[in-house]
Chain A
Amino acid sequence: MFVAWRDLRFAKGRFTLMGTVIVLITLLVGLLSGLTAGLARENVSAITGLPADRLAFAAPPDGRSVSFTDSTVTASQWRDWAARPGVSAAEPLGIRTLNAAAGGRTAAVSAFGTASGSGIAPGGTGPGRVVLSTSAAKELDVTPGDTVRLGTLDAAVAAVSGDASYSHTPVVWTSLGDWQKLGHSGTTPEEQATVIALSGAGADWAAGDAALRTSSKTIDEALGAIGSYQAENGSLQLMRGFLFAISALVIGAFFTVWTIQRSADVAVLKALGASTRYLLKDALGQAVVMLTAGTLFGTGLAVGFGALISGGDVPFVLDPLTVLGPAAVIVVLGVLGAALSIRRITAVDPLTALGSAR
C-alpha cells in the first residue's frame, strides 16, 4: 500500500468527502438497525421470552396461515397435547389486548392468561391477582398492592416483573380464569385459550397437530403469526436492505471515477513493472482503509445517538448485533462494490505511459 497511503494523504478532500458519505450511511443504518430491533422487541419479547419449544395454534382454514388473533384452543386440546409421548409440558396461554386503568391513568396492555402453577408466567398470578411488566406499571403508575382495572375486571397488583411486551403493548400476566372472564371468543362453553405452549424432546409434533387439529410452530415461526410484526419488520428490513445496496453503489461509483482518474498513473506503474496483483491489492487496501475508518466513525456516532435516545420512549436496542452487524455488512458490501470498480485496473494498457506508439 505504498502508493495507496500516499494517495489517501494527498487527496484528502476527495477521500474526506467520500468518507463522510460512508459515515452518514453507517450512522443511518446503525440508527435504523437499533430502531428495528427496538420495535421488534416491543412486538415480540413476550413471545420470545416464553420458556417453551413450540406454540400450538388452532389449525387455520385451508390456505390461511396461523394467527394469534384468530386462534382459539380448547382445554381438551391442551390436555391431549400434555398426554402425548415426548411432550413434557402443554400450557394454555390466553392473549388479549385491552385497556387497563389505574387511578386516572389508562394504557393499552396485553393480558396474558396462564394456568395456575404454569412455568411460563412469572409467579404471583391468581384469581384477582395480576403481575405487571415494568412498562405497564410505569404507564399506569402502580406498584404492588395497588389495584388495576382490566376491562371489566378489578385485580390487585401482586408484583411487577420483567419487561415483556406484545404487539407494542406491555404485558399484564393474569390467571387463565380471569383472562377467560375478560371476554369469551368461542361459541362453545369449553374452557379456552389462544395457544398452547409446548415443551418436550422427541415428540412427533406433526402427528400431534394432525390428531388434535392444531398447527404447532417453533417460537421463531410463531412470530409471523403476529400480524403487525411481519409488516413492520418487513418494511424496516427492506429500508435497511436498500441502504446497504445504496452504500455499495455509492462506494462502487466513487472508486470507478477514482480508478478512471488515476488510470494514467496505473499505466506508468505497470510500465515500470508493477504487477496487476500488486496494483489491485494497493487499490483494494485503500478502499478497505477508507471503508473501515468511515464505518468505525459512523458506528461510533450511532452508538452515541443510540445511548442518548435508548433511555427514553424511543424503542431502541443498542447491542453488538445492532451495532457491529450493520457495520460489518457495510464494509463487506463496500469492498465488493470497490472490487468491481477497481478490476478495471487489469484493463489499463501500460503502453499508454509511453504515449502513442510511433
Chain B
Amino acid sequence: MSLLLDHVTLTYPDGDGRLTALDAVSLDVPAGSLAAVVGPSGSGKSSLLAVAATLVTPDSGRVVVAGTETSSLGPAQKAELRRETVGIVFQQPNLLPSLTALEQLQVMAHLSGRTSRTARERAGELLDAVGLAVQAHRRPHQLSGGQRQRVNIARALMNEPSVLLVDEPTSALDHERGAAVMELLAGLTAERGTATVLVTHDRTHLDRADRVVTVRDGRITEEARV
C-alpha cells in the first residue's frame, strides 16, 4: 500500500490574495520505502505532510492513501482513515500528560474500538521494540526527550499503518539520538512495509532514506535516490 500525491496544489489566504504552499506537487511513495522531504523553512514540507495526513484538503490534485482516494471523504471518514491507515510521528512528541508510555499506545487501539488484551500486548511489544519496555509505566514528564520521541514513533505504529508520516523527528535530539531514531524509522519501514514520508531540514541522517526529495517554494525541485 503506497502513498500517492498527484499534481496537488494547496493555497492559503494571505491578505487580499492567496499564498501557494504546494504547486502541482506529485509524489509516489511505494510500500516499504522511506522518502525524505527536505527544504528550507516555508518551502512547503509540512504542507505536504498535512495534505498526505488528510488534515488539509488541497485546492486541486489527488491524494491517494493506501489505495483510498481522499478527495471525496468527509471529516469522519478522514478521521477513520488516519486512525486505521496512517501513522503520524509529530515534530514535538505531543504525548498526553495523563497517560503512561504504554497507555499512549493503548489509546490508539481504544480510538479504533479495540480494548482487548491483545492491544495491551502489542503496545508492550512496540515499546520493547523501541527500547522502552522498562519505562512503559512512566508518564511523559518522567521520560527524557529521546524516550518521548521513541514513544511518539511507537504510538504511530500501534494500529499497523500502511503509511507513516514523520515530521522533523530529530529536531529536538542530539546527533547520537537523532541517528538512533533514523535507524529505527528505516528499520521499521523495511520490516513492516510502510510507505514512509519523512520531513526534515536536517540533512545529517539522510543516508538512511531510500530517496531524498527537495522542496522549494512549494515545488519539488530535485529528487535523488540514495
Instruction: Report which A residues bind B (CB closer than 8 A).
Output: 2-3, 6-7, 9-11, 264-265, 268-276, 278, 350-351, 353-358
List the count of A-B residue pairs having beta carbons below 8 Å apart: 98
Q: What residue of chain A has the Cβ atom nearest to residue B103's Cβ?
A: A6
Considering the chains assembled together, what is the distance between the CA atoms of A137 and B97 in angstroms?
66
Shortest C-beta distance, B118 to chain A (Å), equals 16
Considering the chains assembled together, what is the distance between the CA atoms of A270 and B88 in angstroms?
11
Shortest C-beta distance, A111 to chain B (Å), equals 67
Task: Offer 9 A-B interface pairs, CB within 8 angstroms, sorted by A.
Answer: A10-B139, A272-B107, A274-B111, A275-B76, A278-B111, A354-B88, A355-B90, A357-B56, A358-B45
User: Is there contact, CB below 8 Å, between B98 and A357?
Assistant: no
B9 within 8 A of A: no
Residues on B with C-beta less than 8 A from A351 are 50, 55-56
**Known contacts A10-B97, A271-B82; is-contact A354 B90 (Cβ 8 Å):** yes
How does the 8 Å CB contact mask read for B75-100 relative to A, with 1 for contact and 0 for none? 11001111110101011101011110
Q: What residue of chain B has the Cβ atom nearest to residue A10's Cβ?
A: B98
Q: B46 is contacted by which of A2, A276, A278, A356 (Cβ under 8 Å)? A: A356
Interface centre among A274, A276, A357 (most CB of B within 10 A): A357
How does the 8 Å CB contact mask read for B41-64 relative to A, with 1 for contact and 0 for none? 111111101100101100000000
Q: A274 is contacted by which of B56, B79, B81 (Cβ under 8 Å)? A: B79
User: Is there contact, CB below 8 Å, between B91 and A275?
Assistant: no
Shortest C-beta distance, A12 to chain B (Å), equals 10
Shortest C-beta distance, B78 to chain A (Å), equals 9
**Known contacts A273-B80, A354-B55; is-contact A2 B98 (Cβ 8 Å):** no
Closest A-B pairs by Cβ, 9 of them? A273-B83, A10-B98, A273-B82, A358-B46, A2-B110, A6-B98, A268-B94, A351-B55, A7-B98
User: Is there contact, CB below 8 Å, between B21 and A357?
Assistant: yes
User: Is there contact, CB below 8 Å, between A2 and B106?
Assistant: yes
Considering the chains assembled together, what is the distance between the CA atoms of A274 and B155 in angstroms?
14
Considering the chains assembled together, what is the distance between the CA atoms of A213 and B184 in angstroms?
97
User: Is there contact, CB below 8 Å, between B55 and A272?
Assistant: no
Q: B44 is contacted by which of A272, A274, A353, A358 (Cβ under 8 Å)? A: A358
**Known contacts A271-B55, A271-B82; is-contact A265 B96 (Cβ 8 Å):** yes
Residues on A with C-beta less than 8 A from B91 are 354-355
Q: What residue of chain B has the Cβ atom nearest to residue A350's Cβ?
A: B55
User: Is there contact, CB below 8 Å, between B53 and A3?
Assistant: no
Considering the chains assembled together, what is the distance between the CA atoms of A353 and B55 in angstroms?
10
Residues on A with C-beta less than 8 A from B96 are 3, 6, 265, 268-269
Shortest C-beta distance, B157 to chain A (Å), equals 12
Considering the chains assembled together, what is the distance between the CA atoms of A3 and B106 in angstroms?
10
B181 within 8 A of A: no
Residues on A with C-beta less than 8 A from B115 are 2
Shortest C-beta distance, B13 to chain A (Å), equals 12
Shortest C-beta distance, B114 to chain A (Å), equals 11
Considering the chains assembled together, what is the distance between the CA atoms of A186 and B111 in angstroms?
80
How does the 8 Å CB contact mask read for B6-50 relative to A, with 1 for contact and 0 for none? 000000100000000100000000000000000001111111011
Residues on A with C-beta less than 8 A from B55 are 271, 350-351, 354
Q: What residue of chain A has the Cβ atom nearest to residue B92's Cβ?
A: A355
User: Is there contact, CB below 8 Å, between B107 and A2?
Assistant: yes
Shortest C-beta distance, B162 to chain A (Å), equals 13
B108 within 8 A of A: yes
Considering the chains assembled together, what is the distance between the CA atoms of A357 and B50 in angstroms?
7
User: Is there contact, CB below 8 Å, between A273 and B111?
Assistant: yes
Q: B90 is contacted by which of A7, A268, A278 (Cβ under 8 Å)? A: A268
